[in-house]
Chains A and B, each alone.
Chain A
Amino acid sequence: MTPAPAGAAAVRAAAPAVRRLAAPALRVAALLGRRLALLTVLLAVVFAAVELLPGDAASATSDRGEGAAGVARRRHLLGLDRPVAERFLDWITALPTGDLGTSARGTPVTGLLSAPFPNTLLLGGTAFVLTVLLSLALGCWAAARPGGTVDRIVDLTSTAAFALPEFVVSIGLLLVFSLGTGWLPAATLTGADGSPSDASMLVMPVLALAVPQTGWNTRVVRAALADQAATPHVEAAVLDGLPAHRVLLHHALPGALPAVATGIATSTGMLLGGAVVVETLFNYPGVGTVLAGAVADRDTPVIAGVVACAAAVITVVLFLADLVRARTLGARP
């Protein structure tokens, strides 16, 4: 991003200030450009993969006994008889406007996803926030006394937790909260607008997503703090006799943030993918249901649309992690 053209003289007069502001802005723009380029490449790969699939949307949804002429007519109607490159260009230029293309049944994919995708984002986002808070808290608690009882217990439970598939965690939660205590219903009840009827419906799905990812990220936080504890500036703070919690939070944690941000950002994909699984089990009204239907119908445009949405969300989170990393590493060249 170049600074706005505001008169050459003024720019020259303010040159040092502009340079001070422009350099970080340029760096941020470069990071954003890199992430967007990766996103575009992934979308191209997905689109090409969809193209290479045997059978297209027109034949996948053909009614029994429909003749070749009917299929050809619908192929023309869906625009599938145009060159691949042209259709990819149309698809990808329409994406930023919120148009995800047309499903095999002829309905807009955006319309199919507009109600369930926010529900899935709510589920994944809540689990994301919970994961960040829990893993930072647990990682710091464990790092406060390296090798102590808390450290060993946190290490063991986090290792155990992140190995578990979300649906296995869900079964454990169902046993405790529905079967054992009867506190929560086993399936999601939805209101008139198709969203979960109240917040308690979110408790089990969110926990099922957050438990494995918290296990993983607690380990990332713990390892990053251990790396920081060995750096000279943290050792100096310890030798200065600063209280342990002050050393941990003000000296070790800031340096650990880049590694933590990267770790948590890589969890985003697992959270979104896991959401699809957990939704199936709890009958939660998210994209999981739409995807299950799309797989059964071989409705590839819908799946490509979900991939595009998920990849966009992951790109945003990875970009935020890039910013955290650039900020921390930039402050200490």
Chain B
Amino acid sequence: MSVAAAPGPSRGGRPPLRALAAAAPFLALVLLAPAGPLLAPHPVDRPVGAPYAPPGAGALLGGDQLGRDVWSRLLHGGGALVASALAVAVAVTFLTTVLGCFAVLSPRLGRAVERTADLVMLLPPVLGFMLLALAWPGGRRLAVATAAVALGTPYAVRVVAAAAAPLAASGFVEAAVAGGERPVHLALREILPNLRSTVLALFGLRFVEAVYVISVAAFLQLGPQPPTPDWALMIRENAPGILLNPWAVVAPALAIGVLAIGTNLAADHLLPAGRRTAALR
């Protein structure tokens, strides 16, 4: 795809204001999600009203399918999602960056990366983590996170390799090769530092993808189990009552939506135009 232009000097250093504004919802949710439980007015595991009670005096957003307080469960339900998405995004970005830097130096590794990405493309992620959830019955969140890393890495390595390819052919890397530098030095000291903007944007996109994978797994009840409060699980559990108390479903859906869209828009600002298309999945 369109990865012709050399990455050039990083656009980092002084983040533009618009990128900060775009990142605001993401940052707010990432900071608020762990603090949510402190603000919850009710326990998450006991009913405070009738099942699917409409919003009222006792409960800001009404009750869920067991009459538990939707607002309290909403405040509790994002921390683990955000934390595991961050962990997956960090792991994939790290693995991908290191592998990508070596892949452009070694044609054999490069080909192996291409083949693996072609192979993983044949396996819809949903089916991939169903298989892993079966293999690892007690794994829960860890199993889902492992599947997300395993299925997300091959394609993302391609992106880093595409961004690093022009660098590998550039004068300073060739000079270092001629100087007899070892591959480890070439990959980590010569190529990696010039990929900052790509890596930063990749991290944002991997976070979006991780939110997708982890929330879909939770929705399919492969991750956290009831009665854990979790945004995706709340949507699954309360969907039958959407006509009685829409907020029990809409509030967690909004939370996931704001998290995903906010992150995506922020990541979009970090990546130079044109490179963007190649950078996801």
- Does A associate with B in a complex? yes
- Chain A residues at the B interface, C-beta cutoff of 8 Å: 38-39, 41-42, 45-46, 49-50, 52-54, 156, 159-160, 162-168, 171-172, 174-175, 178-179, 186, 216, 219-220, 223-224, 226-227, 259, 262-263, 266, 269-270, 272-274, 276-277, 280-281, 291-292, 295, 298, 300, 303, 306-307, 310-311, 314-315, 318
Contact B124 A303 (CB under 8 A): no
Judge whether B264 is part of the interface by a CB distance below 8 angstroms: yes
Please measure, in the bound complex, the distance between the C-alpha atom of A166 and the C-alpha atom of B208, giving whole angstroms: 13
Count A-B pairs with CB separation below 8 Å. Answer: 162
Judge whether B263 is part of the interface by a CB distance below 8 angstroms: yes
CB distance from B253 to the nearest CB of A (A): 4
Q: Output the nearest chain A residue to B120 by Cβ-Cβ distance.
A: A42
Judge whether B121 is part of the interface by a CB distance below 8 angstroms: yes
> Can you list 11 A-B contacts (CB < 8 A)?
A41-B119, A53-B135, A178-B242, A259-B2, A272-B124, A273-B127, A276-B127, A277-B219, A280-B220, A291-B130, A307-B127
Judge whether B75 is part of the interface by a CB distance below 8 angstroms: no
Contacts of A39 in B (CB 8 A): 122
| Interface residues of B, dominant DSSP | helix
Please measure, in the bound complex, the distance between the C-alpha atom of A291 and the C-alpha atom of B126, giving whole angstroms: 11
Contacts of B232 in A (CB 8 A): 165, 167
Contact B123 A274 (CB under 8 A): no
Contacts of A167 in B (CB 8 A): 215-216, 219, 232, 235-236, 253
Contact B119 A45 (CB under 8 A): yes
- Chain B: residues with Cβ within 8 Å of the partner, total of 51
Judge whether B74 is part of the interface by a CB distance below 8 angstroms: no
Q: Output the nearest chain B residue to A300 by Cβ-Cβ distance.
A: B134
Q: Which of B127, B273, B276 has the most CB of A within 10 A?
A: B127
CB distance from B249 to the nearest CB of A (A): 6
Contacts of A162 in B (CB 8 A): 264, 280
- Selected from B119, B126, B264, B274, the residue in CB contact (under 8 A) with A274 is B126
- Chain B residues at the A interface, C-beta cutoff of 8 Å: 1-2, 4, 115, 118-119, 121-127, 130-131, 133-135, 137, 208, 211-212, 215-216, 219-220, 222, 232, 235-236, 239, 242-243, 246, 249-250, 253, 256-257, 260-261, 263-265, 268, 273-274, 276-277, 280-281
CB distance from A37 to the nearest CB of B (A): 10
| Interface residues of A, dominant DSSP | helix
Given contacts A163-B261, A171-B249, contact A298 B134 (CB under 8 A): yes
Please measure, in the bound complex, the distance between the C-alpha atom of A39 and the C-alpha atom of B123, giving whole angstroms: 10
CB distance from A121 to the nearest CB of B (A): 13
Q: Output the nearest chain B residue to A262 by Cβ-Cβ distance.
A: B1
Q: Output the nearest chain B residue to A287 by Cβ-Cβ distance.
A: B127
Contact A46 B131 (CB under 8 A): yes
